Chain A
Amino acid sequence: MTAFLIRNIGQRLILLVFISIIAHSVVHLAPGDPSLVDPMNPRMKAEDIARIRAAFHLDDPPHVQYAYWMRDLFTGQLKSFKDNQPVLGKIWDRFLNSLPLFLVTTLITWCIAFPFGVQAAIKRGSLLDKGGTLLSYILISFPGFFLAYICIIVMVRIFDVPVIGISTFGFEDAGPLFQTMDRIWHLTIPALIFASGSIAVLSRYVRSQMLEVIHMDYIRTARAKGLSEETVIYKHGLRNALLPFITMFGLMIPGLIGGSVIIETIFSWPGLGRLGFEAIMNRDFPVILTLNFITAILTLIGTFVSDILYAVADPRIKLQ
């Protein structure tokens, strides 16, 4: 067990090194650099640009820049090109803003997708199953931003729900209860739209897993023993059907952060995705790189945890 853990962590660290190299080369080998963002600005003289380039090591060869990036990242000295603020602090602030959105989205996804998928599998061919299948295909095919626009119009016109931003401007003096309510209202619509696509995908997947399990021999055995249908489905069936989903924990993280770019841009949510979008617009290389790198670290931690959980949950798997 300990040997497995050490080897697994070692492998992940090696992966991480390669990830950082790939991320770095993707950003630095592509043409276009920060000085090109505002070429028409008359106040930017050639010597200013040269000074800025020297300050950010932009004239050094890529491997030297990589070394500088790594050194600055791990000493916490890494500064954003744009406003000279520490990158890690910026990302942490935005992460705290994104966290409620990610958590609520994930919760909504699971709370709808799992019960729905299981019910659809049990009542196969029923109206619920067929309607759900059609609905999930439509949700998968809906361009997220288009859905968001329709939702914004409907919500604002009919329900008068605030949708843009993380809280209402000028509400800072309101009581804590009001502020919380305000936050929750602002969170609801983005989280629902963010979740819609994954609900569709996940419920389809749960349904097919459940269907596969229901036809297993041990389910027939359980029925033959005379167990109640509830016990058969929820104890013997569901627990086995849910096993593969433990491995999905880790690989969800890149999807959440990548997907948040669109949602947070539309809803002016000051989170990670929007930070990434702004950084890309400004060619703010340290932020882009570090964001990619941190996502990769989170993903590797996530897959590591889910590997271990899988072994804990399923006694047939032995770690070695």
Chain B
Amino acid sequence: MELAEQSGGTLTEQEMSPIREKWNIFRKNRSAVLSLWFLIFLFALSIVAILLTKYSAPFSPATVRLSDKFLPPLTPFKSNLVKPEDAPPFGIYLLGTDELGRDVFSRMLEGTPVSLTIGFVAVGISVFVGIFLGGLAGFYGRIRFGWMTVDTLIMRFVDIMLCFPTFFLILTVVALLPPSIYNIMIVIGLTSWMGTARLVRAEFLSLREQDYVLAARSQAIPEMRIIFQHIVPNAIAPVLVSATIGVATAILTESALSFLGFGVQPPDATWGNILSDGKGFIFDAPWLTFIPGFTILFVVLAFNLCGEGLREAYNPKLRQQR
């Protein structure tokens, strides 16, 4: 029975496009699919959030209502001291208010695109540097510069970077540079590319010797075209997987930086600095700590589970191990 199913499975798999096949494996991992939907929802939410917090008055995260400070979540708005046009969205403080009477719901909304952008741009930078250096080491590794090859040069550089305590290095640079969200993204990106570089190098080393690369060479296809059209697409899968998990790590790193006071500076909100602002009031207003804390937890969890699902889809051997 099982055998019949398996052979039937392989028959249809041959007809399926590779993406479709991966999707079918991915779909079997329920928590990964759930995470994917959650993340898609989050992206949609962050686009809506950018528009709402910028252009809609009730959603403005900067509105200060001092008479309404420290209201717990789900408190209806019924203050006589606050102007009616400053009322929160839907006339209710969905997630409560903070020490300045700002609506936590609006601030969390404002923080969503910021936190996601930090995660994605940081990982984008690290993937770019990783593919560039890893590809260079893998493809042109045998070229010599005096007494050392390109491969030795780059891989020793990776070794050097691995010797630094990453978080301490990030903290040093972020603390010395003027505080800005772009600096944080760049620094996180530039200190986390080593894993990607190693992966890409290993992939390039094996792909370089494949027959189809030889075939492409024999047709005198330019080298750059071989690299970017034939090798990179085949090497990208493991990078994609590690990038998904990298986004999770970058969001965690940003929140840790914010926690120490070096993250995104007020009045801009990210989940990390809402949490670090709220930690002083943890006994009086626990929601200021717990709402951003659990948001970070769930989003990072979703990225991790999604990354695990992708890893299985691209490496079906793991699936059998489960």
Contacts and interface: CB of A to CB of B under 8 A. Distances in A.
A144 B282 contact: no
B255 interface: yes
B84 to A, nearest CB: 36
Contacts of A27: 172, 176
B58 to A, nearest CB: 29
A19 B163 contact: yes
Nearest to B159: A15
B163 A254 contact: yes
Nearest to B272: A143
Contacts of A262: 167, 256, 259-260
Given A15-B156, A141-B297, A262-B167, A251 B162 contact: yes
B305 interface: yes
B83 to A, nearest CB: 35
Interface of A: 15, 18-19, 22-23, 26-27, 30-32, 124-125, 137-138, 140-146, 149, 153, 208, 211-212, 215, 251, 254-255, 257-259, 261-262, 265, 273, 276-277, 280-281, 283, 288, 291-292, 295-296, 299-300
Nearest to A36: B176
Contacts of B171: 261, 276-277, 280
**A142, A208, A215, A257 — most chain B CB neighbours (10 Å):** A142
A140 B297 CA distance: 9
Contacts of B176: 27, 30-32, 280, 283
Contacts of A149: 279, 282, 289, 293
Contact of A26 (B166, B173, B308, B322): B173
B149 to A, nearest CB: 14
Interface of B: 156, 159-160, 162-169, 171-173, 175-178, 248, 252, 255-256, 259-260, 275, 279, 282, 289, 293, 296-298, 300-301, 304-305, 308, 318, 321-322
A32 B275 CA distance: 28
19 contacts: A30-B176, A137-B304, A140-B300, A141-B248, A141-B297, A143-B255, A145-B259, A149-B289, A208-B318, A251-B162, A254-B165, A262-B256, A276-B171, A277-B171, A280-B171, A280-B175, A292-B164, A295-B164, A299-B163
Contacts of A277: 171, 260
A276 B296 CA distance: 26
- Nearest first, the 4 closest Cβ-Cβ pairs linking A and B are A258-B165, A30-B176, A258-B167, A141-B300
Nearest to B176: A30
Given A258-B169, A280-B171, A288-B172, 19 more contacts: A26-B169, A31-B178, A32-B177, A141-B248, A141-B300, A143-B293, A143-B297, A144-B256, A145-B259, A146-B293, A149-B282, A215-B321, A254-B164, A261-B171, A265-B260, A277-B260, A280-B176, A292-B165, A292-B172
B282 A295 contact: no
Contact of A146 (B160, B169, B172, B289): B289
Contacts, number: 124
Contact of A143 (B162, B167, B260, B296): B296
Contacts of A141: 248, 252, 297-298, 300-301, 304
A125 B293 contact: no
A262 B166 CA distance: 13
A73 B280 CA distance: 40
B302 to A, nearest CB: 8
B164 A296 contact: yes
A146 B275 contact: yes
A19 B159 CA distance: 10
Most buried by B among A23, A145, A149, A262: A145
B139 to A, nearest CB: 24
Contacts of B308: 137
Given A251-B162, A254-B162, A262-B167, A138 B297 contact: yes
A304 to B, nearest CB: 12
B111 to A, nearest CB: 14
A135 B321 CA distance: 19
A133 to B, nearest CB: 9
Given A32-B177, A125-B322, A140-B304, A292 B279 contact: no
B210 to A, nearest CB: 25
Contacts of A23: 164
Scoring B164, B169, B256, B321 by chain A CB atoms within 10 A of each residue's CB, the highest score goes to: B164
A125 B165 CA distance: 36
Contacts of B162: 251, 254, 299
A261 B297 contact: no
A315 B159 CA distance: 25
